[in-house]
Structure 1
Amino acid sequence: MAAHRSAPAVLPPPLRGWLGLIAVLAALVVVALGVLYAGHSEPGTVDGWIQPTVDGAGPPWRSLALATDFLGEPVGAAALVVATVTGCLLLRQPRAAVLVVAGTGLAVGTTKLLKPLVGRTIHDGHLSYPSGHTAFATALALAVALLATGRLGLGRTAGTSLVLATALAAGIAMGWAQVALGAHYPTDALGGWCTALAVVPATAWLIDRVADARWQQRR
């Protein structure tokens, strides 16, 4: 019967258990870091280890950091989302297209809700935890990796590895740019990365549940 579904699952069944566990752990990390750095306006111990080696990057690294940062700004992010959604639709993957929009939107929206709650600041009182740029880049990478996993028919180990490796690469790239430009502490970037890891699998699961329920009603 599955062959007659309108679209394949956006969260491949072999990955649901592992990604569900990872999502829960990531959410706990977001909360723990939020509590730890609530109201702070200085780097923490871990930030002190990492930040001096990254912050204040000179040319050509600063140009690369600015280009990466632009991809998380409204114009750059919108262009990436439109391009990715277009690709999903061309591949006839409507659920993946929905995940790209909903996953990135909810991940960034979650960071916006958390920032005033945590109240951590950097440079002239700008709210910094968690990093919305890092959450966006990671969420988009997760959506694309989940699509690739489903298309390639990867099993639990290979699929989970691909998803996590892709998310890690995106998170490191954007997180580095944010720290290099002095916009965030390293732990802000970690919080943004974990926010996406918590939000996107849950969003993908919900999309599948809703889509499958509608399909059942039409049978």
Structure 2
Amino acid sequence: MTGRSAPTVLPPSLRAWLGPIAALGTLVVVVLGVLYAGHSEPGRVDRWIIRPTADSVRPPWRRFALATDFLGEPAGAALLMVAAMACCLLLRRPRAAVLIVAGAALTVGTATLLKHLAGRTIHGDGNLSYPSGHTAFVTALALMAALIATGRLGLGRTAATSLVLAAALVAGATMGWAQVALGAHYPTDVLGGWCTALAVVPATAWLVDRIADRMADVARREHP
């Protein structure tokens, strides 16, 4: 018996792996932020990727890119959040619903803060671009959904790690492609947004579990 009042949102099978992954994500975010702080032009890697794709995608792929981009806009993000929280509550996983709200808020908040710290712009019109908030949000949501699914399915370490990383990679790559294809971000902005989610979500999940467990312990002591 563990004494927990609800299933954890950070599965034990993933704790040993997500810590180093989060640390690596943090390192990448910081390094890229320092390298491109105050820049208003694409870097060498950005130029290599951007030339054939930036703002040049044609129908029907352009429509797909625009639809994907919408999921990171306030209205689209709100729809995704409501759907994710409804699923958590239907599955009677209130702790998971808290993770969805806290993880998304902290990821987007961190990305917004980093934009102002880095001061990187795109198109010369003052639009802050590093890191990509759209990519960070969608990656975070996919990562949290994979964590919740991993815990519910009781997957082992290898399967759980594969599922979580695959979900983050697919979501981040899809939104990242849309952002670069529409000319909204540089590729390194997208990488920074992806790594922001990898850094924030595991820490948030750990914090949600810790707070929830302490609250459950207090409740048990008061009402044995």
- 1:202 paired residue number: 203
Alignment length, in residue pairs? Answer: 218
- 1:26 paired residue number: 25
CA distance in 2, matches of 1:137, 1:101: 13
Query: How far off its partner does 1:96 sit?
Result: 1.0
- 1:11 paired residue number: 10
1:7 partner letter:
A
- 1:35 paired residue number: 34
2:164 partner letter:
V
- TM-score normalised per structure 1: 0.97
CA RMSD between the two structures = 0.9
CA distance in 1, matches of 2:93, 2:35: 40
- 1:180 paired residue number: 181
- Bigger drift between 5-14 and 168-177 goes to 5-14
5+ long unaligned stretches in structure 2: none
Which contiguous aligned blocks of 4+ residues in structure 1 show a shift greater than 6 angstroms? Answer: none
Cα distance per residue 1:160-214 (max 9 Å; x no partner): 1110110000000000110011000000000000000000000000000001111
1:119 partner letter:
G
CA distance in 2, matches of 1:89, 1:28: 35
Paired-residue identity, %:
74
- What is the 5 A alignment of 1:1-219? 1-2=1-2, 5-55=4-54, 56-123=56-123, 124-219=125-220
2:116 partner letter:
P
CA distance in 1, matches of 2:51, 2:175: 17
1:125 partner letter:
G
CA distance in 2, matches of 1:97, 1:130: 26
CA distance in 2, matches of 1:66, 1:206: 35
5+ long unaligned stretches in structure 1: none
Decide whether the 8 Å contact of 1:39 with 1:118 is kept in 2. Answer: yes
- TM-score normalised per structure 2: 0.95
